[in-house]
Amino acid sequence: MSTRAIAKQLVRQRHPVSHTKTAQILHELGYSLQGNRKSEEGKEHSDRDAQFRHINAAVKKHLRQGLPVISVDTKKKELIGNYHNAGKQWLPAKQPKKVQGHDFPTPDEPRAYPYGIYDIGRNRGFVNVGTDHDTGAFAVASIRGWWRYEGRRLYPKAASVLITAE
């Protein structure tokens, strides 16, 4: 809960206080603003190992038969434009690329939606990037694009494709 929301609740309960004073009190009480941390694991599904053994067996069978096996996933959405990103690039010394100071795009600001397809048998990746989709239809279009671009050339006799997804 934000300090503004806490202050608003306190004002409703007839304890007038500003959000800045609320932050000061929280700091004095030993609180700090923190993000959450993934540490708790969900309850394991009783059939989890059996499911993975089944998937692994199907993958191995398809690969032995020379059939395509692909793993698919959606990658992190990226803003399109002059925004900060975590990557690095080689530039002349002391000449960093200048980007916008804040990454608060408007709702109509374009975004890139990368969809990854990994060919397990050939150890090759294929990425399709869309700008206005993040749906099942885009996933199907991406797989279709992989098939048309390289899948059918690499696996001309394939009658099926095994697709795994997380």
In a shared domain, residues 3 and 74: no
In a shared domain, residues 70 and 138: yes
Q: What is residue 101's predicted lDDT score, i.e. its pLDDT? A: 60
In a shared domain, residues 1 and 71: no
Q: Which residues contact 126 (CB under 8 A, 6 or more apart)?
A: 116, 117, 118, 119, 146, 149, 150
Residue 92 lies in a domain: no
Q: Which two tokens stand for residue 45?
A: 């599904």
Q: Which residues contact 77 (CB under 8 A, 6 or more apart)?
A: 111, 112, 113, 134
Q: How far apart are the first and last CA of the chain?
A: 32
The count of C-alpha atoms lying within 13 angstroms of the C-alpha of 58, restricted to the half-sphere facing its C-beta, is: 14
In a shared domain, residues 69 and 123: yes
Q: Whole domain around residue 1: which residue ranges?
A: 1-32
Residue 126 lies in a domain: yes
Q: What is residue 159's predicted lDDT score, i.e. its pLDDT? A: 94
| DSSP run (H or E) holding 157 | none
In a shared domain, residues 58 and 117: yes
- Model pTM? 0.60
Mean pLDDT per 10-residue segment, the chain (166 residues):
87 91 88 74 78 95 97 77 64 72 65 88 91 78 94 95 92
Q: What is the DSSP letter of 92?
A: S
Q: What is residue 157's predicted lDDT score, i.e. its pLDDT? A: 94
Q: Per the structure, how many domains does the chain have?
A: 2
Residue 44 lies in a domain: no
* Measured CA angle at 129 (ends 128, 135), to 5 deg: 90
